[in-house]
Amino acid sequence: MRLKLSVTRPVDQFFHKIEQRPALAVTISILWLLLINWIAFGWNLGNIGLVDETEPLFAEASRQMLVTGDWITPFFNGETRFDKPALIYWCQAIAYSIMGVNEWAARIPSALAATAVTALAFYAVQWHFAKKDELEQVANPTRRYLTAAVASALMAFNPEMIVWARVGVSDMLLTGCMASALLCFFLGYAQKSSPSPFPNKWYLACYVLIAGAILTKGPVGIVLPGLIMIAFAVYLGKFWELWREMRPILGMGIVFAISAPWYVLVTWRNGWNFINSFFGYHNIERFTEVVNGHSATWYFYFLVVLLGFAPYSVYILTAMARLKFWQRSHWLNQERSQQLGLFACFWFFGVFGFFSIAVTKLPSYLLPLMPATAILVALFWSDLFSNIQTHKSFRISSWINVAFLSTISVGLFNLSKIVGTDPAAPELYELIQKLGLTNLGGIIWLVSAISIAALILSNYLRPIIFINLIGFVAFLSVVLMPTLFVMDQQRQLPLRELSAIAVQEKQPNEELVMVGFKKPTVTFYTQHNVNYLKFSQQALDYIQNQANAKIRPPSILLLTEQKKLLEMNLPPDNYKNIATKGAYNLIRIPFKKSKKEKLDIS
């Protein structure tokens, strides 16, 4: 007992001092947010090359916007790209104009979106507990600031958020807009406004952010948050009350005034080509059919949540059960500001259910529920920050936490037996094993599991969530970050080096052809269009046609994997090997033959 008091009292005294100095509280909060977001999203953000295949598609389309000045129609490799709306391309292109065309600029929109939603969640959680203190007529700054700090840290330090905040694609920008819109909705709802012809400032911000979500990903940007907000309002019997507060007709006017002009302009310029590709294929078909082979079993998203929010995911079910969201009468009697946990539940189930119904399934689709999950788990731990007597559910969940971390540890110790080889980097996993990174990761999680078990046995549960966070930060710093550099060196660096060589070697009117695989990074790093040919025989036929053409180029550059080059069985005299990097070869095939002579590629 003395140990608990000796630790608790200084902590409580520290937060009480902060409470008495608002400027200091704001300063420390900002420093905390800057620290965790820099470690999670900013550290080495641009020091690793673009990752095939999706990221360079966005990065190059944005570069094309900047170069051509066409801010309406996205292009990649000489063809229109209607996979996603324009906001991500605009953000990346603006970043290029400020920072230059590089990896930092391609990824900074994702990192800033993640930072923004983390900061807004910190504010929402601490505001929720400030109102709770007012209702309870107590001063509990320890609970308020610690819970807000934990919520923001859980939001930053989980695999799903870190992966997509460090990649220059649209998923994190969508999550930033959608999650921020939902948080603004709750803040507007909780700060019940007097009758007015205009919505309050938080509702207005919600509408603007929904417009941003529509410009980032399309109809899902309004459909999904709209369903969550409507379900929440209907459950509490406040639909018409919120209708009068939010002024949705005016709100929809704001949303469409911001988002519709681009859709009108791109449709006017491209017609049915855009409508069929974007609305038909990339929205309706993705929801109703399997697209690009992205199908999965019914329990796929359960695994995504378990691993994507690891190691804290073991607390999700207990956190929801603690809220008793099914007890409607209880929530009807709560002040609006105290319904954050209920709203987070609707947010979680809304995203999870919506994308579970969709036929096409990808891990990134559940990214928008991660902020809600972090809030739920932080609220679960808030009782421990106010010295309330702990329920047995804390102990049970903590023992599951120990088992989960032990399983991760065992998996890392035996990773070489679990994973296969990578054809593009056959030495990758062997090199990671030689560097001892997997064993180091296993040790980190094993020590974390043992520490948590010791805390449970000593009946001191408050630090357990911090042990998880410290373990994750240690794992990110000394295992994941070095592993990313090794993966980049083995998988992507050879393509960047060959792209640089191709730019130097490329002759006027000489075409660059890739055979057997599509690596869009080559298009980005060469800043030239690339002809992608999937099959070896297709490449041989193309080479022969070029050789027989009336107006033929002097030669072509061919980039291919070594095994594909062997499959093509080109006579050594018919090509020149320019460079070999990793598993890839860059060769030149000259066409300097007499008119009657055919290039022998048989």
Q: How confident is the model at residue 21, as a pLDDT?
A: 85
Phi and psi of 599, rounded to 5°? -70, 125
Among residues 164, 163, 127, the alpha carbon closest in space to that of 145 is found at: 127
Which structure tokens are listed for 459? 């009946």
Q: How confident is the model at residue 6, as a pLDDT?
A: 38
State pLDDT tens for residues 445-497.
999 999 999 999 998 888 999 999 999 999 999 999 999 999 999 889 999 99
Is pLDDT at 389 greater than 70 in this prediction?
Answer: no
Per the CB < 8 A criterion, the answer to whether 73 and 269 are in contact is: yes
**Residue holding tokens 């309002």?**
233
Q: How confident is the model at residue 387, as a pLDDT?
A: 62
pLDDT band at 527 (very low <50, low <70, confident <90, very high): very high
- Residue bearing the bigger pLDDT, 371 or 5: 371
State pLDDT tens for residues 11-29.
777 777 777 888 888 999 9
Helices (H), 365-480: 370-382, 392-413, 415-418, 428-434, 437-457, 464-475
Instruction: Fill in the DSSP letter of residue 198.
Output: S
Is pLDDT at 2 greater than 50 in this prediction?
Answer: no
pLDDT band at 601 (very low <50, low <70, confident <90, very high): low
> Residue 602, Cα to own-chain centre: how many angstroms?
47
pLDDT band at 8 (very low <50, low <70, confident <90, very high): low
- CA–CA distances in Å: residue 355 to residues 55, 306, 359: 22, 16, 8
For 425-449, letters b (16+ CB in 10 Å) and e give beebbeebeeeebbeebbbbbbebb
State pLDDT tens for residues 528-581.
999 998 888 888 888 888 888 777 788 899 999 888 888 888 888 888 899 998
Q: How confident is the model at residue 456, as a pLDDT?
A: 93
Biggest alpha carbon–alpha carbon distance for the chain? 97
Per the CB < 8 A criterion, the answer to whether 113 and 165 are in contact is: yes
Phi and psi of 530, rounded to 5°? -125, 135
CB count, 10 Å around CB of 1? 6
CB count, 10 Å around CB of 31? 10
The mean per-residue pLDDT over the stretch 279-287 comes to 85
Instruction: Fill in the DSSP letter of residue 246.
Output: H
Among residues 455, 310, 363, the alpha carbon closest in space to that of 175 is found at: 363
Task: Mean pLDDT check: name the lowest of 231-235, 255-259, 335-339, 393-397.
Answer: 393-397
Per the CB < 8 A criterion, the answer to whether 117 and 179 are in contact is: yes
Burial class (CB in 10 A: 0-12, 13-18, 19+), 193: middle
pLDDT band at 594 (very low <50, low <70, confident <90, very high): very low
The CA dihedral of 446, 452, 455, 461, to the nearest 10 degrees, is: 170
State pLDDT tens for residues 336-384.
999 999 999 999 999 999 999 998 899 999 999 999 999 999 999 988 8
State pLDDT tens for residues 299-310.
999 999 999 999
Is pLDDT at 148 greater than 50 in this prediction?
Answer: yes
Q: Cis omega before residue 53 (within 30°)?
A: yes
Q: How confident is the model at residue 369, as a pLDDT?
A: 96
Instruction: For helices 171-190 and 201-217, give the axis angle rounded to 10 degrees.
Output: 160
**Residue holding tokens 């504010």?**
123
Task: Mean pLDDT check: name the lowest of 165-179, 266-280, 529-543.
Answer: 529-543
Q: Which residues make beta-bridge pairs with 514?
A: 532, 559
d(CA 217, CA 283): 9
The mean per-residue pLDDT over the stretch 47-53 comes to 92
The CA dihedral of 335, 336, 337, 343, to the nearest 10 degrees, is: 130
Instruction: For helices 248-270 and 239-246, give the axis angle rounded to 10 degrees.
Output: 70
- Residue bearing the bigger pLDDT, 191 or 165: 165
Is pLDDT at 259 greater than 90 in this prediction?
Answer: yes
State pLDDT tens for residues 88-117.
999 999 999 999 999 999 999 999 999 999
- Residue bearing the bigger pLDDT, 500 or 518: 500
The mean per-residue pLDDT over the stretch 57-75 comes to 96
Which structure tokens are listed for 584? 């890839």
